[in-house]
Amino acid sequence: MIDQFQRPLHDLRISVTDRCNFRCVYCMPTEVFGKDFAFMERDELLSFEEITRLARISVAHGVEKIRLTGGEPLLRKGIEELVAMLAALRTPDGRPIDIAMTTNGSVLALKAQALKDAGLKRVTVSLDSLDDATFQAMNDVKFPVSKVLNSLDVAHSVGLGPIKINMVLKRGQNDQDVVAMARHFKGTPYILRFIEYMDVGSSNGWEMADVVPSSEVVARINAELPLDEVAPNYNGETSRRWRYRDGDGEIGVISSVTQSFCHSCSRARVSTDGKLFTCLFATEGHDLRALMRGGCTDEQLSAVMARIWSERTDRYSELRSIETGKLRASGKKKIEMSYIGG
């Protein structure tokens, strides 16, 4: 199944909750997501059975990787049950699905073994600084770095891997820690990735001046820890890979602002309440929950999903300046990352 630019559907990201116990400044800033913010009611969320149904149909259409996101996915009660249900899925030629999760790591140490036993393959952990004051300022709930580092070690010990660490960079807030992060995780089992601060949603006050270009990140690290670029692991990989010249590990950079990868994007996203989005920077989605709860058959649901993808023309990052201007003129707002998943 391909879209209007011949891009196949290979990856599905599913947001299982809109709630998070962090208030990261680039995702769920406290001034917007404060104590009075109205999160979704339980019956608004897709059930595990509904999520598995969408995943099964997506796998039949070519999806090979499923990533569970949020909010913070480990806040969803019984998440291990969903992992087990998804782990039972098979591709048309009988291969298991690659099931991963993105988490802030706050409760991963408690859940790691159960997740592994249920069939989770890999985790990606968000960690924006090793400096406790900087990290706590960014998560805005005074959560310490030490607990995230412990979660990494526990997850590795139970066999969830390779584990990736995502560091979102915001100039003037944590970019001073780039080399320190690289040095700390060099020679470990973990793959550190630096992500450009993105204009997802409308609540984080994004400005281009806050973006630290990936080219600058690579230059800073290379000046102290020499790097060589290496080939991607697969077609459509969003992260450009750089290996330490001494062979002691690698880093990745995700440059969705300065070096768009729209041309190879093979991802679809399902929101917490069952809307299908074909772009992270979308303003609206397609309501699959209404179809399922309205009694549609698998065949009907499959046909709708195929039509949505085949009509896809999204390439926001390639046209960022033009599209941003259009959105401002129209008054439309992009969907928040906490709703659609990162």
The predicted-structure confidence for 210-248, as pLDDT tens digits, reads as follows 999 999 999 999 999 999 999 888 776 788 999 999 999
Phi, psi dihedrals of residue 301, rounded to the nearest 5°: -65, -40
CB 79 within 8 A of CB 111: yes
For residue 331, the model assigns a pLDDT of: 59
Check whether 267 is labelled as a binding-site residue: yes
Check whether 24 is labelled as a binding-site residue: yes
The residues pairing with 241 across neighbouring beta strands, listed in sequence order, are: 230, 252
Check whether 71 is labelled as a binding-site residue: yes
For residue 236, the model assigns a pLDDT of: 67
- Residue 330, pLDDT > 70, answer no
Whole-prediction pTM? 0.90
For residue 126, the model assigns a pLDDT of: 96
Where are any strands of DSSP class E within the chain? 11-15, 65-69, 98-103, 122-126, 164-169, 191-196, 227-230, 240-244, 250-254, 267-270, 275-277, 286-287
In sequence order, what DSSP letters do the residues of 152-192 get, joined into one string?
HHHHHHTT--S-EEEEEE-TTTTGGGHHHHHHHHTTSS-EE
Check whether 78 is labelled as a binding-site residue: no
Check whether 126 is labelled as a binding-site residue: yes
- Residue 321, pLDDT > 60, answer no
> What percent of the chain is predicted at pLDDT more than 70?
91
Q: Name which residue leads in pLDDT, 185 or 314.
A: 185
Taking residues 46-55, what's their average pLDDT? 98
CA 323 to chain centre: 22
Instruction: Report the CATH fold assignment for 11-340.
Output: TIM Barrel (3.20.20)
For residue 214, the model assigns a pLDDT of: 95
- For residue 7, give Cα distances in angstroms to 13, 108, 282: 16, 34, 17
For residue 131, the model assigns a pLDDT of: 96
Check whether 296 is labelled as a binding-site residue: no
Check whether 279 is labelled as a binding-site residue: yes
Check whether 190 is labelled as a binding-site residue: no
Check whether 268 is labelled as a binding-site residue: yes
- Residue 327, pLDDT > 60, answer no
Least confident of 119-123, 175-179, 232-236: 232-236
pLDDT band of residue 194 (cuts 50, 70, 90) is very high
Check whether 269 is labelled as a binding-site residue: yes
Check whether 220 is labelled as a binding-site residue: no
What is the rounded distance in angstroms from the CA atom of residue 129 to the CA atom of residue 222? 19
Check whether 164 is labelled as a binding-site residue: yes
Q: Please, what is the angle between helix 48-60 and helix 298-310, to 10°?
A: 60
Check whether 26 is labelled as a binding-site residue: yes
For residue 198, the model assigns a pLDDT of: 79
- Residue 337, pLDDT > 90, answer no
